[in-house]
A and B are shown apart, each in its own frame.
Chain A
Amino acid sequence: MPSLPDVMTPALETLAPAGQPAPAPQEANRDALVEWLLRTGDNALILGQRLSEWCGHAPALEEDIALANQALDLIGQCQLWLGLAGAVEGRGRTADDLAFLRDAGAFRNLLLVERPNRDFGHTLMRQFLFDAFHLELLEAARASSDPRIAEIAAKAWKEAAYHLERSADLVVRLGDGSAESHDRMQAALAALWSFTGEMFTDDDHDRALADAGVMPLPSSLRPAWDRTVAQVLDEATLTHPGEVWQQGITDMGGGKRGVHSEHLGHLLAQMQFLQRAYPGARW
């Protein structure tokens, strides 16, 4: 019987060997670029997978189809980002390899997108908080000095613009709806707010890309996001949570660094089952 891959020991070949000279600037940028592409691709993949869990379960047929469309948009985007990540990385890994054969610790998505769906209000609030960030990110990426990034972002931006239009509209409708829908949206906001700070944290990879002019710092996207969120919450008659303690923003943790909540493993178990049980299966 073949043994399972050892997920507890760090893969030494992926870690910089001790005592080696610092990589050349070009090399450092490549690592930062791969990291950014994985983060961007994994956000789309994991949120797409989460949304697809609603397929056949949404409260109305129209919502069911809309969520499935959005899931497919995101998974389509992830194919492009992860495909590019594999190409830049240069180790021969395809988008499928990256999606189906990495373990949780190698995923770079935000903690926000792996949060469970819970009720429809949670799903929509998570979507809105992410969409408002996603649109700013893609807006910046459209202007990237790297034409490969700019090209993918131009396509994804149109989809994200529609996603935000839709999720913002539904947050307003449900927030400013019945007493129950209002309470559910407020509860969802409270539960998810501490996962929003991670979107705007900068680390060394982010700074390397900003210095190279490839992407602006995540923190620079914050003011626009703050404005959108404040305006929509106000219109939705929801109370802005204000400053609260944030998850995953220290140097030790956070999904961007591969330190995830317990929810990601369960999601991957379902998403990756087929390729893990039947390696290389195609249909």
Chain B
Amino acid sequence: MSSEWPLWEVFIRGQHGLNHRHVGSLHAPDAEMAIRNARDVYTRRNEGVSIWVVPSSAITASSPSEKGPLFDPANDKVYRHPTFFDIPAEIGHM
């Protein structure tokens, strides 16, 4: 039965002001039941205040085989990190 249900990716917002975070996936026949199942599977320990579900098939992922060309070029571009500024102590954490 479950093998016939499509797969959904579940995103939970832990508290107001935070982003939704991917927490896992589950099977459900439609979006409404995916929300209910997500409530039962992923928020049992008071994890969230909001749930998003997305059909897994709607997600386009980068290909692992392109990892080199996609990400390696950023490795040696230290000037892209804002680490060369002196931040006065009074400003605190940015």
Q: Which residues of A contact B (CB under 8 A)?
A: 59-62, 65-66, 69, 162, 165-166, 169, 173
Residue of A nearest to B3 (CB): A60
Contacts of B28 in A (CB 8 A): 62
Q: Is the Cβ of B44 less than 8 Å from the Cβ of A62?
A: no
Q: Are B36 and A69 in contact (CB under 8 A)?
A: no
- B30: nearest chain-A partner, CB-CB: A173
A173 to B33, CA, bound (A): 10
Residue of A nearest to B34 (CB): A62
Q: What is the distance, in angstroms, from A197's C-beta to the closest C-beta of chain B?
A: 30
Q: How far is the CA of A66 from the CA of B36 in the complex (A)?
A: 9
Asked if B40 is at the interface of the complex by the 8 Å CB criterion, the answer is yes
**Which of B1, B26, B32, B40 makes the CB contact (< 8 A) with A69?**
B40
Task: Encode contact with A along B36-54: 1 for CB under 8 Å, 0 otherwise.
Answer: 1101110010000000000
Q: List chain B residues, Cβ under 8 A from A59.
A: 1-2
Residues on A with beta carbons closer than 8 Å to the beta carbon of B44 = 65, 69
Report the minimal beta-carbon distance from B33 to chain A, rounded to whole angstroms. Answer: 8
Q: How far is B4's CA from A60's CA once the two chains are assembled, in angstroms?
A: 11
Cβ of B13 within 8 Å of any chain A Cβ, yes or no, is no
CB-CB contacts below 8 Å: B43-88 with A: 44
A60 interface neighbour in B2, B32, B36, B39, Cβ under 8 Å: B2
Residues of B within 8 A of A169 (CB): 32-33, 36
In the assembled complex, the Cα of A60 lies from the Cα of B36 at a distance in Å of: 14
**Are A62 and B40 in touch, CB under 8 angstroms?**
yes
B36 touches A61 (CB 8 A): no
Q: Do B40 and A61 touch across chains, with their CB atoms under 8 A apart? A: no
Contact in complex: A62, B1 (CB < 8 Å): no
Most chain A C-beta atoms within 10 Å of own C-beta, residue among B28, B37, B39, B40: B40
- B65–chain A nearest beta-carbon distance, Å: 32
With most chain B CB atoms within 10 A of its CB, the pick from A59, A60, A66 is: A60
Q: Which residue of A lies closest to B4 (CB)?
A: A60
Check if A60 sits within 8 Å of B1, measured CB to CB: yes
B5 CB contacts on chain A under 8 angstroms: 60
Bound state CA distance, A61 and B29, in angstroms? 13
Tell me, rounded to whole Å, the shortest Cβ–Cβ distance linking A94 to chain B: 27
User: Which of A62, A65, A165, A173 is close to B2, meaning CB atoms less than 8 Å apart?
Assistant: A62
